[in-house]
A and B are shown apart, each in its own frame.
Chain A
Amino acid sequence: MPRSRIIAGVEIGTSKVAVLVGEVIDGRSLNIIALGQATSRGVRKGVIYDTAAAGHSVHAALRSAEHNAGAAIESVYLAVTGGHLDGFENSGVVTVEDADNWVSPNDVQRAAQSARAKALPDGRLYLTHVRGRAFLDGSENPHPIKQQGSKLELRYWHIHASRREVENLLWVINGYNDLNVQEVIPGSIASGHIATTPEERGLGALVVDIGAGTTDYALYRKGKVERTGVIPVGGDHLTNDLSMAFRISFKQAESLKLRYGTALLEPDKSRKVMLMGDYQIGDRELPLHSITRVINLRLGETLAFIKNKLGSAISQQNTPAGVLLTGGTAQMPQIATLGRQIFGVETRVADSPDWIRREDLRSPEFHSVIGLLRFGVQGGALDDVAQPQTKSGFWPRIGQFFK
């Protein structure tokens, strides 16, 4: 009798709470069983500002997911995002102990410990330490164990977050039948692993997840996460900008964005669209050019922030696989072309992996929550994310179960 576990990936997003329930069998294979969703309340820019309201919507989504799954969730893998996330690079360097300079697992362990030893200011906590490239005597060596060298260096990308914001998230989940959060995972990494194939990560790629409240990005090189980051600007900002530009309500602006928004400027300046389209009192004509201009400015600015932060790391040489866009706002028409203009490399909207066969899950907005389950299958600490043995081949066999 195989041992199975019911786990859930939970993303408390700015527009919706998504709960994806999966069954992990023998810690290796995953059946996606059910999806539960609820409109998000009390969340702005990826951060909870009203815990009571957020609690209601999260609990509603969990309830609906459990109902659809017909099973109780045992543990939760939770995505975290928001402007409070930050990261820095820090290497651990140790002298190889062995007299003959053979690197032992113990050396790797010590290097890892040393890299993580950096203390954080009060109120911050480490979310994860992502191991990057390893160097032996200054030259890159992805598998240093049992190699010869005198100095071992392990590069780490450390992601840390505001303790208070993370505790808010945990509090909301724990409030549902004392549900246990197994792991807290940065949203950028969760969606990054789904939006890219292992080959793309190996070549080098940038994943940009533009959600409703935040834009999360993860840069992969040689199969490993090299940089992540969050810009607390998302689709809501497009809506807010439109509502301020045209003096209309947030709701009207949202509808305008969904109906007419494009990432590129509308070339015909005389083209008009109707605000509400119902020709009722209060309906009026708006220049499409203006609408697209507001959106183009905001999206362009946001992508340019990422480009500036990463600098030359985004180039034909360093990211041959290009830029992959995901998240709800990636559905904005022409966004890939805008991305190409800004990043100067091939940019496209990420496809869902083939093994996701449920049509309703194949939208980019679910990449992150599916990515959470992927980490759940591994069952290991997130520190393992970028360790060599997980690079490929460790990806579990994933089956699909349709109810």
Chain B
Amino acid sequence: MNDPHASSSGNRPGDPFENSPLLRIKVVGVGGAGTNVVDRMRMCGDSELELAVVGTARKCLVDSPVPEKVMIGAEITCGFSAGGDVDLGRKAAEADRPALQKLFAGVDLVFLVAGVGRGTGSGAAPVVAEEAAKAGALVVGFVLLPFSREGSRRARAAEEAVVRLRNACHCVIALPNDLISQHTDEETSILEALGVADEWIRRGTFAIASMVRESGLINVDFATLRQAFPFFGGKALFGLGRAEGAGFVEKALQDLALCPLLHLPDNRYVRRTDSLILHLRGGPDLTMTAVNRVMDFVTEKFGCRDNTVLGAVIDSRLKGKLEITIIGTVDVTGARRPPANVTHPPRAAAHSPASFALTPPAPAPAAREPILPPPEPELPDTPAEIAAEIEEPDTPEPVAVAAESERDSGFIDFETGRPVGASAPAASQSEGRGKRQAANEAQCELPFPGEEEARGHFESTARYDLDGQDLDVPTFIRRHVRIALH
């Protein structure tokens, strides 16, 4: 059972269940961009996770250092790419469903990485996600949106693909490539710039994977995680923040608050997440008070009182530092859709029954005070692409560099290190399905609205393209001008 105090056992060094093969996590790159990201993950030595790539282009697959490769639609594309044709990408994936089923057999958690806007990523990724979900896995999608410079046709294809993916994944985190420019300056090389997106994805996958695999100060098990993403079709919110040095807790929170991905235009959306995962990585000097402070801040800011999942990992090398990752989902359909229980009960059921028990909100009672009115998922005008924008970008350059190297060591540590700081009180999953949630589940399904990313205030309006640019997207984003925030 999902005993909230179970984490204490997780803190025992040498926990026999750690890294047990019972929990298989796979990162799957779909299409060219997705493959590239997974390739780079592989080259960084992220061997903790199983890596796989799915593609239509033979050349791309041959070049990939990833061991597990699935070629789809060989008969349709003859081993060439889908050439930007979304339909072709979809047909290719449809044709090779059995191969995809094999890919996901026995996998519990799938991170799907795809660049949308062209053929394979847009067309095949939703099919791949469907297969993963059918196999009973929890599917978290990371989607790279095209640069707005790439033109409106791409943007439209990307939007459609994101909507389809949302309906096939438990959580889709959309990363507008445009925002990369907000983290780079004139001297940044293209490799470094693309590395920003990699970094976002790596930290996202790492946060989730380490949460369920690594034991720590506060443990979250897989069932709890699954519980946090109970629906298909929602929007996701993804934010990162980190800081070090004196007052690192406050600084990290401020960094998180400034994360551009969280703050697309209209802040209303962040105030009504339906479920939220909060993951902390800190040193042995991370105190319970600090954890409570973070919980307070995050629940207040993101308005998720009844379904916040907290995980914390202590790493001795992170003394005086704190990394915060939040992943939230918002049910924008207004009718919560129980996930594909219907389609994939077997494995899911095996993992999750425990998590449905109402666990008493354990720690940080203050954090759960109903600070905000219950979020209203039905507001039709909240659009807000929650989309994830990720990144804690705006840290001034020097800090960012320091943090970067820090992160690398963090990864190594993840593989070998043991959690420290077992003294903490306990755990904290606080999920609990509110009445509202239950009531909403009973409602009928509403059609998922089509939508666009990054238009903020203008999301509900017709778009107007001039020279292939969507004029509602801020000029500084389209022109890749970095705006200093400090």
- Contacts A44-B461, A247-B260 hold; do A293 and B476 have CB atoms under 8 A apart? yes
Tell me, yes or no, whether A298 is within 8 Å of chain B by CB: yes
Give the secondary structure class of A's interface. helix
Minimum CB–CB distance from B328 to chain A (whole Å) comes to: 16
Within 277-303 of A, Cβ neighbours of B (below 8 Å) are at 285-287, 289-290, 293-294, 297-298, 301
A250 close to B481 (CB less than 8 A): no
Tell me, yes or no, whether B474 is within 8 Å of chain A by CB: yes
> What is the chain B residue whose CB lies nearest that of A241?
B474
Tell me, yes or no, whether A83 is within 8 Å of chain B by CB: yes
Tell me, yes or no, whether B485 is within 8 Å of chain A by CB: yes
> What is the chain A residue whose CB lies nearest that of B254?
A284
B484 close to A249 (CB less than 8 A): no
Other than A245-B483, A290-B485, give 13 A-B pairs with Cβ distance below 8 A.
Answer: A49-B460, A231-B466, A236-B457, A240-B474, A243-B456, A244-B265, A245-B485, A246-B485, A248-B263, A250-B266, A286-B485, A287-B484, A298-B475
Tell me, yes or no, whether B264 is within 8 Å of chain A by CB: yes
> What is the chain A residue whose CB lies nearest that of B474?
A241
B262 close to A247 (CB less than 8 A): yes
Minimum CB–CB distance from B149 to chain A (whole Å) comes to: 14
CA distance A212 to B462 in the complex (A): 16
A200-212 contact mask (Cβ, 8 Å, vs B): 1 or 0: 0000000000000
Minimum CB–CB distance from B4 to chain A (whole Å) comes to: 32
CA distance A240 to B266 in the complex (A): 9
B479 close to A244 (CB less than 8 A): no
B477 close to A305 (CB less than 8 A): no
Provide the residues of chain B in CB contact with A298, threshold 8 Å. Answer: 474-476
CA distance A237 to B474 in the complex (A): 7
A243 close to B462 (CB less than 8 A): no
Tell me, yes or no, whether A239 is within 8 Å of chain B by CB: yes
Within 241-281 of B, Cβ neighbours of A (below 8 Å) are at 257-260, 262-267
Minimum CB–CB distance from B177 to chain A (whole Å) comes to: 15
From A233, A245, A285, A305, contact of B476 by CB (8 A): A245
A-B contact pairs, 30 of them (CB 8 A): A45-B458, A47-B461, A47-B462, A83-B464, A84-B462, A232-B464, A237-B472, A237-B474, A239-B457, A240-B456, A240-B458, A241-B475, A243-B456, A244-B260, A244-B263, A244-B454, A244-B456, A245-B483, A246-B485, A247-B257, A248-B267, A249-B267, A286-B485, A287-B486, A290-B485, A293-B481, A293-B483, A297-B475, A301-B475, A305-B466
Provide the residues of chain B in CB contact with A44, threshold 8 Å. Answer: 457-458, 460-461
Minimum CB–CB distance from B434 to chain A (whole Å) comes to: 26
From B258, B476, B485, contact of A241 by CB (8 A): B476
Within 418-469 of B, Cβ neighbours of A (below 8 Å) are at 454, 456-458, 460-462, 464, 466
B310-352 contact mask (Cβ, 8 Å, vs A): 1 or 0: 0000000000000000000000000000000000000000000
CA distance A233 to B458 in the complex (A): 11
- Contacts A245-B476, A249-B266, A290-B483 hold; do A233 and B471 have CB atoms under 8 A apart? yes
Provide the residues of chain A in CB contact with B479, threshold 8 Å. Answer: 297
CA distance A241 to B266 in the complex (A): 11
Provide the residues of chain B in CB contact with A289, threshold 8 Å. Answer: 484
